[in-house]
Amino acid sequence: MFAKHLISTTITPLKTSDTGQEALAQMTDHHIQHLPLVNHKQLLGVISEEDILDNKMDDAVGTYQLTLRKAYVEETDHLFEVMRVMGAEELTILPVVDTQNNYLGVVQIQEVLTKFSQMASFVEPGGVIVLEMQRHEYSMHEIARIVEGENAQILSFLLAARPDSQTVDVMLKLNRSHELSGILSTFTRFGYSIKASFVGEDEYLDSLQDNYNSLMHYLDM
């Protein structure tokens, strides 16, 4: 999944002659906090609500000092790079350009969340196990060997690392909906620390769906 597959053209980019007031009105209409600034076809950067509020609302946005001049991805960048840039810059939209820096459109946070949830098998039935371990102990090969030794499969996994710690959480989504005791016992026997497990598929999926719906509702506010 590449950035070019996520492009939305429903957001009209700002021109340098547009005012801060016009930019803020468009942000309100689309429930976003950022807009691309384009001069003809060239992307100049991203304007945030903070940029507008730090300047005069009646001034042309082309006169603003942008804080997000390099917040963009190229059309051939992967979804993971899109997520990395959006997360690092805390963006609600992300411009996509070609190799000549020509503006092609934007990726919206809702589309990123939807595609990622599909890729990560969140909607597939199955149980969840969360392992806690030191960074140097992490081996996906060993973890997969244990799971497959119990006649189960890993549908997807996420690795959550803490910047200020050597500890990581490995979250496994398995194709086993109810009975995880054998897998849990094997992980324990091999010395793994089990931080959490969700045996009840319905309860876990309902909770995940509720959280996802709440996030999407928040983004649409």
The encoded tokens of residue 4 equal: 């070019």
Per-residue model confidence (pLDDT) at position 111 = 82
Domain spans of the chain, in order of start:
3-116, 120-216
User: Rounded to whole angstroms, how far apart are CA atoms 80 and 3?
Assistant: 9
Give backbone dihedrals phi and psi of 97, rounded to 5 degrees, phi first: -125, 165
* Residue 179 pLDDT exceeds 60: yes
Is the whole model's pTM more than 0.85, yes or no? no
For the chain, first and last CA: distance in Å? 28
pLDDT in tens, 190-219: 999 999 988 754 555 555 555 555 555 555
CATH topology of domain 3-116: CBS-domain (3.10.580)
The encoded tokens of residue 59 equal: 């001034």
pLDDT confidence band for 165 (50 / 70 / 90): confident
Residue 52, Cβ neighbours under 10 Å: how many?
Answer: 22
Per-residue model confidence (pLDDT) at position 62 = 92
Q: Out of 12-16, 86-90, 91-95, which region has the weakest mean confidence (pLDDT)?
A: 86-90
The encoded tokens of residue 87 equal: 């997360």
Spell out the residues 6+ positions from residue 98 whose beta carbon is closer than 8 angstroms to its own: 74, 75, 104
CATH H-level, domain 120-216: superfamily: ACT domain (3.30.70.260)
